[in-house]
Amino acid sequence: MRDRWKQGRKIALTSAAGLIFCLVAGIASSQIRNRGRLIDEPSPETELHPGAEFHMARVKYRTFGGAGSHGLIQPWWAIDYPYAEEHFFAALRRVTNLTVSDEEAQLELTDERIFQYPFLFLQQPGEGNWRPTRQEAAALREYLLRGGFLLVDDFHGEYAWSIFESAMKQVMPDRPIIEIPEDDPLMHIFYDLDERNPIPGLRHLRRGPGGQIVARMEGQPHWRGIYDDHGRLIVAINFNIDMGDSWEHADDPYYPVPMTALGYKFGVNYVIYAMTH
């Protein structure tokens, strides 16, 4: 598995201006293959790039209820699908030399295919009440210790944090969750992420004085993580942050471009870090 993941090291640097251009221009024209479809069970991966270097899988877990936008109602683990991936993958291709699979898989943690994916994406562990079974926790622990990377996004408030923290204690009981330091390689591996401004969900945006769009978050944003014995970040945690919405609404004029650009920069750094560590 490690040999396969080393293919993504060939990276071409680009400017922040180029990233913003692709957000407001190129992404708006991407084709969404799942528009208008009620997604309760997203379709299996359709791999249009069979030789792709980067593949992502969403963690599929038991949940009740859901939410969504663009006329779609999703289970909590599938929030922002498929727009977030469509937009982000297009940007990732533009700013790197990576070949990127068009769609990610949706896999339960007990599915052995998770070991084929260097990057797992877990959404809404709070609202979705993510409570892994003993078998699921053991599988995720093995995945992480064998070199995998988990990105957790879009949960807010202390109650949601308590749900996630309890789940991770089952997965990695001997590993603390800490704030990611400013000098961590993650923050400088592609973009220098010196600013950690809020990345809001669409629901957090309000029109303020003079018509300016402002974010009213549920708490201070935190970029937290879990590290292995070698100092490798194995779990990246976006708390009080909705990076998925910054991807999903990249073509929405109501969603501010600077907030989208910051969400994309973090996303690119996460991918490059996972592919090179």
Domains and CATH numbers, the chain: 2-276 (3.40.50.12140)
DSSP for 83-96 reads HHHHHHHHHHHHHS
With 60 as the cut, is the pLDDT of residue 173 above it? yes
Structure-model confidence comparison of residues 255 and 66, the more confident one? 255
pLDDT bucket at 45, cuts 50 / 70 / 90: very low
pLDDT of res. 255? 77
**pLDDT for residue 70:** 55
Mean pLDDT of the chain: 81
Question: Tokens representing 242?
Answer: 């909705």
Note the pLDDT tens digit of each residue in 91-148.
Answer: 999 999 999 987 779 999 999 999 999 999 999 999 999 999 999 999 999 999 999 9
201 close to 219: Cβ distance less than 8 angstroms: no
pLDDT tens, position by position, 191-200: 999 877 888 7
The amino acid that residue 86 corresponds to is E
Residue 14 has pLDDT above 90, yes or no: no
Find, among 220, 264, 230, 270, the residue nearest to 245 by Cα: 264
What are 234-275's pLDDT values in tens digits?
A: 999 999 999 998 898 877 777 788 888 999 999 999 999 999
46 vs 181: which has the higher pLDDT: 181
Q: Is 93 exposed, middle or buried (0-12, 13-18, 19+ CB in 10 A)?
A: middle
- Separation CA 106–CA 43 (nearest Å): 8
Contact 195, 258 (CB under 8 A): no
**So what's the pLDDT on residue 54?**
93
| pLDDT score for 108 | 97
Q: What is the model's pTM?
A: 0.81
- Name the band, by pLDDT with cuts 50, 70 and 90, for residue 41: very low
pLDDT of residue 17: 40
Q: Which pLDDT belongs to residue 50?
A: 62
Distances (CA, A) of 179 to 78, 191, 218, 232: 26, 19, 18, 14
Closest CA to 273 of 150, 125, 177: 150
Residue 33: pLDDT band by 50, 70, 90 thresholds?
A: very low
pLDDT at position 46 is 43
Instruction: Label each residue of 166-235 as H, E or C.
Output: HHHHHHCCCCCCEECCCCCHHHCCCCCCCCCCCCCCHHHEEECHHHCEEECCCCCCEEEEEECCCCCEEE
Contact indicator for 68, 77 with CB cutoff of 8 Å: no
Q: What is the pLDDT of residues 202-245, one digit of tens each?
A: 565 567 777 776 666 677 899 999 999 999 999 999 999 999 98
| Neighbouring C-beta atoms of residue 120, cutoff 10 Å | 24
pLDDT at 252: 78
Structure tokens at 88: 């982000």
